[in-house]
Amino acid sequence: MKKVEAIIRKSKFDDVKTALHDVEVNFFSYWDVTGVGNEKQGHVYRGISYSTSEIQRRYLSIVISDEFVERTVEAIIKSGATGNVGDGKVFVLPVEDAFRIRTGENGNTSLN
């Protein structure tokens, strides 16, 4: 099992959510987060200067079986990309075990 963590643009969340459902990843958690990025210059939109060093993002947390890792990461990258600085990051971490509280099942069976 793996845990996929992704930090994406809030504006791309619906696209990423749809892409995840398309590859049969139907359960994940998400939070609105603020982060500090590498870009130091600001942008001007309609005469107002905006700092891009602190940006609103959405953080996704997905625990999946190993056979879903590649398609999950590809779905996030393809649907979350704009081609601009600040599109986000994807991290893949090992998960030792998972348990379904209701039934006590563990391992991959607890994920379905």
Please state, in angstroms and rounded to a whole number, the distance separating the CA atoms of residues 10 and 56: 7
> What is the tens place of the pLDDT at every residue in 39-92?
655 666 677 666 656 678 999 999 999 999 999 999 999 999 999 888 999 999
Q: How far is CA 64 from the centre of its chain?
A: 13
Q: Model-level pTM? A: 0.84
Please identify which residue in the block is written with the tokens 């793996």.
Answer: 2
Residue 98 DSSP label: -
**pLDDT of the residue at 52:** 58
> What is the tens place of the pLDDT at every residue in 12-38?
999 999 999 999 999 999 999 987 766
**pLDDT of the residue at 38:** 67
Pairing of strands 54-64, 2-9: antiparallel
What CATH number belongs to 2-111?
3.30.70.120
Please state, in angstroms and rounded to a whole number, the distance separating the CA atoms of residues 101 and 31: 22
Q: Domain-by-domain residue ranges, the chain? A: 2-111
